[in-house]
Amino acid sequence: MDEISQQTQVNLEQQLSPNTRRSFGFSSLRIKKRINSEDGGFTRRRGLRSFSSTRESSRKESVPEDDGDSQLSGGEKHMMKTGVKEPELTEPSGMEAAENTTRQHRYASGQYFFEYLVVVSLKKAKDSNTYEPQITYQFPKRDGMARSQKEEEEKTLKAITLFCFPEGINWAPLTEYHSETFSFVLTEIDGSRRNGYCRRLLPGGRGARPPEAYCIISTLACFGLFSKIFDEVEKRRQISMAMIYPFMQKLREAPFPAPGNTVEIKSFIPESGTEIISLTRPLDSWLEHVNFATLFDCLTDQQVLLVFAAAVLERRIIFIADELGTLSQVIHAVAALLYPFTWQHTFISIVPEILIDVVMAPTPYLLGVQKRLLDQVTDQTDLLVVDLSEDKKDPFIVSIGDEGSILPSKLQSEILEALSKRQNASVGEELNRVVSEAFLQFFVKTVGHYASYVKYGRAGERGVFDKRSFYKAIEPKVTRHFVKKFIQTQMFDLFIQEVEQQQPGPQQGVFHKKILEYQEKKKKEKTKKH
């Protein structure tokens, strides 16, 4: 790890308690070997362990008394009356062990909806008015793990409590609370991801009490789908805690659907009977965690273009808002505009107060910060600070000043023209399609010819990207000037590394499809001229 990154890591760790420091690493080093066509060496790539979150406000909830158990099964009634939670998993034997092995394999291959469900409650500290988030329930219990696996799980669970309650420890008991859903992402050193989906609400009972969070850990990134799952969880929780776990067990055993497909879950509800819950994944899986509506509600098309320009060159960007839902939805939308490229640096859509010093990191980041912490970020320079508040006078509190000249002016005009078509688009998936298409075409026109400059030697050998010839072939000069900067970014570098590792032949995916369509269009235009 370079010296600057090491110092950043030390500064962050000094802000955390010893227990928290053991819980997660803010950034980690991942080395990728890359063959260099000139000297046979390799370059280093930093892979960050990152945390992100998405959050939306829901309705104000009322907490009914637990009086709906008359139609429950005998086992459910027993669980409710005795307060006994579902039994912990024990070591199976025989055919049961074989079935369990199959289920473990299914999860390892990414076929389960979720890994586990936890409940995070705020517990009042002794001799203090502060509250500490603690995990009070985990389903299912994961017994039989090796010591190292157990330690890793404990670190993850500790990090989960921090991101379920990012505002810190200063809470007061409440009688009313707006139920809200949000999510965060944990990216491990090896690049694998686990998503945490949370719904915060008031627990059952009378009088003032702090909220609690239900959190589902899953490898599947689909915010809309898990929001619907939490609707079902909350519906059952209002009847009885005991109603949640049979539903979650059926969900856990169901294979999650492929993009565009639906899975149905049968579940019993007192006074309603057996219900069938349909869960559908969006067809464009790379957009299923995104909603562009909030981004364009907060900023004009031209302002979005300036933010996009700063993100394309991997600059430091901080978003400011009062509402956590606004922060998280906007930052995920900005990251999605970079498709087919992926943001490779620090990404925290809701920065917990305990981690606010991350704004001082010298490396690129996308951060969401609550407006009450604005004074702690405006003393920074060489970055873009974007105010998303409704009462803002100028959205750009801090800027470098060159954001308007980063992208070629002709391509800027084409993006703005394409965005104007969204006025006729409906909300949801259609809106996402129109917006993503506008920015995807920008990359098609600037770097869509990359495949022609990946040269392959003998069969089985990886390709080598001819960077210099690639950007020298670009016309006009203003576009070449932009691309020369863009190809120095980590997002482009990683994209090309993955292409070099593939065998020569037709490429797959939305980006390649759009490239072929654009090339065919240009060919027809050239034929007409002649």
Same domain, residue pair 132 and 275: yes
**Length of the chain, please?**
530
Same domain, residue pair 194 and 211: yes
Distance in angstroms between the alpha carbons of the first and the last residue of the chain: 56
Same domain, residue pair 257 and 125: yes
Q: Does residue 348 carry a pLDDT above 80? A: yes
Same domain, residue pair 407 and 445: no
Q: Which residue has the higher pLDDT, 66 or 340?
A: 340
| Amino acid occupying residue 138 | Q
Answer whether residue 87 is part of any domain.
Answer: no
Same domain, residue pair 392 and 457: no
Report the CATH number that the domain containing residue 236 is assigned in CATH.
3.30.450.200
Same domain, residue pair 124 and 238: yes
Same domain, residue pair 359 and 249: no
Same domain, residue pair 254 and 153: yes
Q: Which residue has the tokens 């394309």?
A: 312
- Residue 395 is predicted with a pLDDT of 96
Instruction: Report the alpha-carbon distance of residue 197 to residue 229 in Å, rounded.
Output: 10
**Percent of the chain's residues with pLDDT above 90:** 28
Q: In what order do the strands lie in the sheet with 212-218?
A: 51-61, 177-187, 193-201, 212-218, 116-124, 131-139
Instruction: Report the alpha-carbon distance of residue 306 to residue 233 in Å, rounded.
Output: 40
Same domain, residue pair 409 and 432: no
Instruction: Report the alpha-carbon distance of residue 368 to residue 163 in Å, rounded.
Output: 13
Q: 416, 447, 473 — which closes off a domain?
A: 416
Q: 355, 381, 416 — which closes off a domain?
A: 416
Q: 416, 450, 466 — which closes off a domain?
A: 416
Q: Which tokens belong to 432? A: 């996402």
- Residue 334 is predicted with a pLDDT of 95
Answer whether residue 35 is part of any domain.
Answer: no
Q: Which residue has the higher pLDDT, 185 or 228?
A: 228
Answer whether residue 55 is part of any domain.
Answer: no
Answer whether residue 63 is part of any domain.
Answer: no
Average pLDDT rounded to a whole number, residues 16-38: 34
Same domain, residue pair 312 and 396: yes
- Residue 269 is predicted with a pLDDT of 83
Average pLDDT rounded to a whole number, residues 329-338: 91
Same domain, residue pair 402 and 432: no
Element (H, E) at 497: helix 490-501
Report the CATH number that the domain containing residue 388 is assigned in CATH.
3.40.50.11500
**Are 307 and 367 within 8 A, CB to CB?**
no
- Residue 449 is predicted with a pLDDT of 93
- Residue 121 is predicted with a pLDDT of 92
Q: Does residue 173 carry a pLDDT above 60? A: yes
Going from the C-alpha of 223 to that of each of 3, 215, 289, 474, the distances in angstroms are 37, 13, 5, 39
Answer whether residue 218 is part of any domain.
Answer: yes
Answer whether residue 264 is part of any domain.
Answer: yes
Range of the domain at 190: 116-281
- Residue 7 is predicted with a pLDDT of 38
Answer whether residue 49 is part of any domain.
Answer: no
Domain count, the chain: 3
Same domain, residue pair 127 and 248: yes
Of 142, 150, 151, 143, residue with least CA distance to 116: 142
Answer whether residue 111 is part of any domain.
Answer: no
